[in-house]
Amino acid sequence: MGDRYLRRLLINGMTSQLQAARRKPEVYPWVAGLLANGKPNKLVAVAMARGETYRSNGPVAEGTA
């Protein structure tokens, strides 16, 4: 679960980084792709903070659960 305050600071920092990703989409291609696909800003910010790409809640493949 972690520290809620620290998590909030990380997400706020990443939302400011979204502006940089919009200005220079070639630097952040996966972020620009998520934004182009209409993903919400907060979802993209959380993905940036975690250092991973967005994973939908689709079906889980066999052997990965």
Both structure tokens of 20: 């940089």
Residue 39 has pLDDT above 60, yes or no: yes
- Mean pLDDT for the stretch of residues 18-28: 87
Q: What whole-number distance in Å separates Cα of residue 65 and Cα of residue 62?
A: 7
Say what percent of the chain tops pLDDT 70.
Answer: 75
| Helix%, strand%, coil% for the chain, nearest 5 | 60, 0, 40
> Domain boundaries in the chain?
4-50
Say what percent of the chain tops pLDDT 90.
Answer: 2
Question: What backbone torsions phi and psi does residue 2 show, to the nearest 5 degrees?
Answer: 80, 180
- Mean pLDDT for the stretch of residues 6-34: 87
